[in-house]
Amino acid sequence: MNLQHSKFGTANLMQITEEESTDIFSIQEPYKIQNKVFGIPNKYRNFTIPMTRSRAALVVTIKHIDALLLKQHPDADSVVAEKIADGKKTYLGQYVHRHRPANR
């Protein structure tokens, strides 16, 4: 979901997350202050490339999912996390500029 750096958009997303019981979601253009994602409750884990102007984030909302940030992909516009439990799964959060074609 693209939040367009909006505090209001982040609050709405958190409400929807609670209502829909979402486990993992990807954010484009998260609401940030001093390069830290704001508006995501501390009970959730959010993954973004630290100390950058990252335009992508992944959020894990349930504690029984063991996830970690894969640092082999240091692009500030891509966040990759891997879920360990119940077979490995990889999740990608990526910022895609609407006026530029994606790399192939």
Residue 102 pLDDT greater than 70, yes or no: no
d(CA 6, CA 33): 11
What does the pLDDT look like over 51-87, one tens digit per residue? 777 788 888 888 777 777 777 665 677 777 766 666 6
Three-class SS of residue 68? Answer: strand
Q: What is the pLDDT of residue 104?
A: 46
Q: Give the domains, in start order, of the chain with CATH numbers.
A: 7-94 (3.60.10.10)
pTM for the model stands at 0.71
Q: How confident is the model at residue 100 (pLDDT cuts 50, 70, 90)?
A: low
CB 4 within 8 A of CB 32: no
Return the DSSP state at 39: S
Measured in degrees and rounded to the nearest 5, phi and psi for residue 94 equal -140, 140
The residues that bridge with 46 in the sheet, in sequence order, are 59
